[in-house]
Amino acid sequence: MQGKLWLKVLIGMFLGLITGTLLGPSVGLVEPETGTLIGNWLAFPGQLFLATIQMIVIPLVIASVVRGLAAGEDLEQLRKLGLRVTGFFVITTAMAASIGLWIGDLINPGRMMAGLGTPVAAGENSVPVASMPGVDELPKTLIGLLPGNPLDAMVEGQMLQVVIFSIIVGIALVSMAPEKSRPMLDLLDSLQQICMTVVRWAMRLAPIAVFGLMAQLTTTLGFRAMLGMASYVATVIAGLLVLLGVYMLILKLLAGQSPVRFLKDTRDVLLLAFSTSSSAAVMPLSIRTAEDKLGVRPSVSQFVIPLGATINMNGTALYQAVATIFLAQVYGIDLSMGSMALVVAMAVGASIGSPATPGVGIVILAMVLQTVGIPPSGIALIMGVDRILDMCRTAINVTGDLVTCRLMENLAGKRLPPEPVPEETS
């Protein structure tokens, strides 16, 4: 098992299920009060894990988004491609989150575990419920998305405001002279490396964390949780396949390329993305595949791929939406239409901020859950199978990057390089 974190996490999940069942009232080895006390102490490493991840997520998001936007380091490219690419990413990410909510509600994966989740305490019954703002409140709501005090937004964990602030800073850095923006970009690079080092430390604790959180959770759940988890995994994979179909449709209608040929040309990079669970790890191969096999020019591929590796996390957005629906069903929380709209908005903002490294998507999920009043401790149920789903959604994320490259080559190809070349030759 050396170096196989995903396997350790799976083992931790199953051991936690068994331990929690033995401590639970269904087996009766210990008194219910004693089982609860032991479960709370077993969950301590898991609470420490969650606290460590939540501590580092804000600086990690800022560094990733700003550096992702500044990756091209070319203001002309940003002017011609930036708005178009970013708009496409945002639209498809919102579409992916909506697909996740739709398929989660359709399949209802939490029905096998409905009511079995640890209920919200009676005193905490006043969970904030999101509601859609009225037409008269919409201007104020939109202005509220812009952080009046970025530090305050960071302290309160307002992810969408933090992402918007980071996007503004990233665009400003690209607009500056390289010699003036370079020190800030170097500082953000160091900050990103520091954050990822802390995340790697925390991930070493992940198997023990999953064991403890799962043991605490299953003191009341039992083995019925396993059937519910199988339904959850099937729901996420079904949603990802629907999203893949949407991408292939976009590729055929807007880029005029055969989906079968596209999948054949990109299979190596997609398999590598699946096995590594990291968009960043396959970035060099993605660029080479886009240029050599998809016919995308370097001026497009070397801008879209690095940007997409940071802000194009459609598979992650879909997964977060399904996970939110699943846990809401488990905990018996009825999500209103306003809450679902908030989940889409948060999934878009949070997926833009998700680093292109394995395992971090579940970190951002905790904030999405908290926003709609679902206990973040419920992610213990999801973490056991997160590695499998992480592999699947990373392959979809990379597919989205490559489809965007091909589409932008078609849309922008007539304007970018062809203009200066004839002038130089004449």
- CATH number at 405 reads 1.10.3860.10
**Residue with more model confidence, 378 or 119:** 378
In this structure, is residue 124 part of a structural domain?
Answer: no
Higher-confidence residue: 95 or 72?
95
Position 226 pLDDT exceeds 60: no
pLDDT band (50, 70, 90) for residue 49: confident
**Band of pLDDT at residue 381, cut at 50, 70 and 90:** confident
**Mean pLDDT, residues 77-81:** 64
Structure confidence at residue 291 (pLDDT): 85
Q: What is the pLDDT of residue 338?
A: 78
| Average pLDDT of the residues in 162-191 | 83
Choose among 118, 149, 154, 117: nearest CA to 232.
Answer: 117
Q: What is the pLDDT of residues 80-131, one digit of tens each?
A: 677 788 888 889 988 998 999 999 889 888 776 655 554 444 334 333 333 4
Q: Which residue has the higher pLDDT, 387 or 255?
A: 255
Answer with the residue of higher pLDDT: 344 or 30.
Answer: 344
Among the residue ranges 14-23, 55-64, 88-97, 290-299, the one predicted with the least confidence is: 55-64
Average pLDDT score over residue span 52-60: 76
Calculate the average pLDDT of the chain. Answer: 75
Task: Establish if 121 belongs to a structural domain.
Answer: no
What is the percent of the chain where pLDDT is above 70? Answer: 73
Structural domain for 78, as ranges: 5-115+144-415
Residue 281 pLDDT:
63
Higher pLDDT: 82 or 404? It is: 404
Asked, for residue 130, whether it belongs to a domain, the answer is no
pLDDT tens-digit map of 345-374: 877 766 665 555 555 566 667 767 777 778
Would you say residue 322 lies in a domain? yes
pTM over 0.75? The answer is no
Question: Please, which residues have CB within 8 angstroms of residue 182's CB and are 6 or more apart in sequence?
Answer: none
Residue 9 has pLDDT above 80, yes or no: no
How many separate domains does the chain show?
Answer: 1
Looking at the domain assignment, is residue 426 inside a domain?
Answer: no
Q: Is residue 28 part of a domain?
A: yes
| Interacting residues of 215 by C-beta distance below 8 A, sequence separation 6+ | 15, 16, 17, 19, 20, 23, 39, 42, 43
Nearest-angstrom CA–CA distance, 93 and 90:
5
For residue range 187-224, what is the model confidence (pLDDT) as tens digits? 988 987 888 788 778 777 878 887 887 787 677 555 55
Residue 45 has a CB neighbour count (10 Å cut-off) of 18
Judge whether 127 lies within some domain.
no
Residues 101 and 95: their CA atoms lie apart, in Å, by: 10
Instruction: Compute the average pLDDT of residues 318-344.
Output: 84
Residue 82: predicted pLDDT: 73
| pLDDT in the model for residue 327 | 86
**421 inside domain:** no
| pLDDT category of residue 421 using cuts at 50, 70 and 90 | very low
Mean pLDDT, range 273-285, rounded to an integer: 71
Mean pLDDT of 7-11: 76
* pLDDT tens, position by position, 143-170: 776 777 888 877 776 666 777 788 788 8
